Every structure is written in structure tokens, then in C-alpha cells.
Amino acid sequence: MDPSIKDKPVVVCVYSGRTENSGAVATSNYIARSIGIKSGMPLPQAMNIGKDKAVFIPIRKDFYKEFSDRVMNTISTYSDKMEIASIDEAYLDVTGECSTFQDAVKLGEEIKEEIFKEYGMKVSAGISINKAIAKILGDMAKPDGLKYIDESMVEEFLNTLEVKKIPGIGSILSKKLNDAGIKYLKDILGANRQAMIEILGNARYNYLVEIAENRYNSPVEERIRKNYGRYITLPENTRDTNIIMPLLRKAVDSAFSKAPGLPGEISAIGIMEDLNIVSRSYTGGRISLESAYGIATGLMGKILEADSRKLRRIGVRIGKMSSNESLDNFF
């Protein structure tokens, strides 16, 4: 990460490769959005708006995924019920950790504070009685706030909630609903059911009715993990294999300790001194822990051989899991 661009408009770009500046905006920070640069905008248009003001950088999916994994791991220590909704959004059910609603608010403040201290990143949080309202509040609290609605406040909140604020209702559906006389969520309860289904579809209509009637109760459900990994920061930027390889072995041990079986794929990852990410992978059969040590060492050796930069962090990721059952399970 580059702290020198923190207070500047920053635009993350997906380049098509057709010409030097062809492509589109993947995302942009709040400063860039304030001057009119939005996701999906053609790059030439964004560059014209941000000329001499904005910083344009290429998308780096591996880096974002690695950073997201670190933040999610921190968040997961606060509850054993966590649902990762996207690379930058997660739900926690803290019912078991908090005896009162105010305890949950304090916990939200604590999570925000820890993420800022550990990663220098500001996050928003929404706290309420279900995922839908919490998500709406989290969006309202962006980029660095915390909003909450407890049980006693829910009815008033839902009665004044505009449909465009509800997760899953984008600008196109919102306009169609507005044209049909539906501006607020409560309006849908008095609308013609069939007319609403024609606009929304049956599932989305039922979803909105459940929220409006305060019956929405979709639980926080942990997504099934497909990959397991561990990243370790080196004591200093280095190419010294005497330092790197023992820590790589430690990363292998940690990744295997999290996995429910044996992997069919293993990757070694190097985060370079300039934060560029390089990886090498191996796929084949059921990889035992002992085999993984040698494979990961060989993959990291290939990274060092092909690249002259020093390493800042190293990592191991395993995937394509198969059950670790023994013959005892069959008798």
C-alpha cells in the first residue's frame, strides 16, 4: 500500500489492452467518487475528469484477496458465527457474545478500532436485529461510521425506509417501483401483489414483504471454505532462504491445521518488497503434509529464481480438498 496517495482521488482500473488507456473503472475511493468518477465508467472518461488530480492504478486481485483474508481473520475472532458476503463485507451473529444490545454496539466499536489500529483502514458498521437492517445501516454509516437500530426502534425505521436503500434493489428496480407509486418500503404492503411480482419477481417481492413486516430472519451462515492458507511477515525484507524456508514450513503447518482433509493443490505466495504479489502453484493427487513441505519449498525457490526482488511476506494456500477419511470409517 502507498500512504502517499491516501488523501488523493484513487481509481482502480481494469485495462482491456486494446489501447494504452482502454478499459473501465473497477472501483474508486470516496474522494474520486466526489468528483464524479464511478465504477463501470470508461477509463478515457474517468481520466478526463481526474486529469492532474486522480491517481490511476491497475487492479491487483491477489493483493486485495490477501489483505481481505487478513482483515476477515481478525473479525472472525469476535464470533464463531461469521458469514463473509464479499471481499469487503461480512456479517457476525454476536448473540452468544453479547448479553445486551448495548454490548453489541460496544463490540462493533471495538472491532472498528482494532481494524484501524492493525491495518490503518477505516470501516463502517451496522448493528440491528437481522442481516438486512444491519446491512442497510452499514451502508448508511460509510465510510467510517457506526449506526444501530435496536428492537424498540425497528418499526419507526422501517416505516420511513426508502426502497432504494434496501440490499438487492438497485437503481433500475428502484425507478420501476417509484413509477408504480412505491417510494417507501411500507408502500409495498398496500400495493397490488401481482403488479409487484411482475416488477420484482416472486422471490424478491416476498423478501421485501418479510422485511416490511419485520419477519425477515435469514441466519448468519458460514460459507463453505474452498481454500486454506497462512501468510507470515518476514523479520526483514530478504532473499535469504535460511530465513524464508523455515517460516514457509511454518505456514504449511498452519494451512494444513485448518483444513478438513488433504489438498489436491498447493500454492506458494511471495509478497515482494514493493507489495507486488507473485505465486506459483502445483496440482496433483492428494498432497500429504510431508510432501507439501517439499513442494512449497520448490515453488518458493522458483519464485526467487525468477525474480530479483526481496520478499516482505510469504504465504501458502491449499485447495481442492478431499476428505481425510481412513478405512476405519468403512467398518
- With cell 408504480, the residue in question is 180
Rounded to the nearest integer, the mean pLDDT of the chain is 90
Of 88-97, 140-149, 171-180, 215-224, the range with the lowest mean pLDDT is: 215-224
Residue 325 has pLDDT above 70, yes or no: no
The pTM of the full predicted model, rounded to 2 decimals, is: 0.68
**What is the per-residue pLDDT for 331?**
32
Residue 83 pLDDT level (bands cut at 50, 70, 90)? very high
Residue 81 pLDDT level (bands cut at 50, 70, 90)? confident
Mean pLDDT of 146-157: 97
Residue 1 pLDDT level (bands cut at 50, 70, 90)? low
Structural domains for the chain: 3-59 (3.40.1170.60), 62-149 (3.30.70.270), 160-212 (1.10.150.20), 227-323 (3.30.1490.100)
Mean pLDDT of 310-325: 82
Nearest to 254 by CA among 73, 86, 115, 82: 73
Alpha helices in 50-192 (DSSP H): 61-76, 101-119, 131-140, 154-159, 171-179
Highest mean pLDDT pick, 52-66, 128-142, 158-172? 128-142
- CA 232, distance to chain mean position in Å, is 20
**What is the per-residue pLDDT for 328?**
35
Mean pLDDT of 86-107: 94
Q: How many CB atoms lie within 10 A of CB 160?
A: 10
Residue 223 pLDDT level (bands cut at 50, 70, 90)? low
Residue 217 pLDDT level (bands cut at 50, 70, 90)? very high
Nearest to 270 by CA among 305, 294, 242: 305
Residue 326 pLDDT level (bands cut at 50, 70, 90)? very low
Residue 151 has pLDDT above 60, yes or no: yes
89 is an active site residue: yes
CB 124 within 8 A of CB 143: yes
Task: Identify residue 165 by its one-letter amino acid code.
Answer: K
Q: Summarize pLDDT for 232-275 with one digit per residue, the tens.
A: 889 899 999 999 999 999 999 999 988 888 999 999 999 888 87
Please name the residues in contact with 316: beta carbons below 8 A apart, sequence gap of 6 or more.
229, 230, 248, 251, 252, 254, 255, 266, 267, 268, 269, 292, 296
Residue 324 pLDDT level (bands cut at 50, 70, 90)? very low
Q: 177 versus 76: which is more confidently predicted? A: 177
User: Catalytic: which of 89, 97, 210, 273?
Assistant: 89
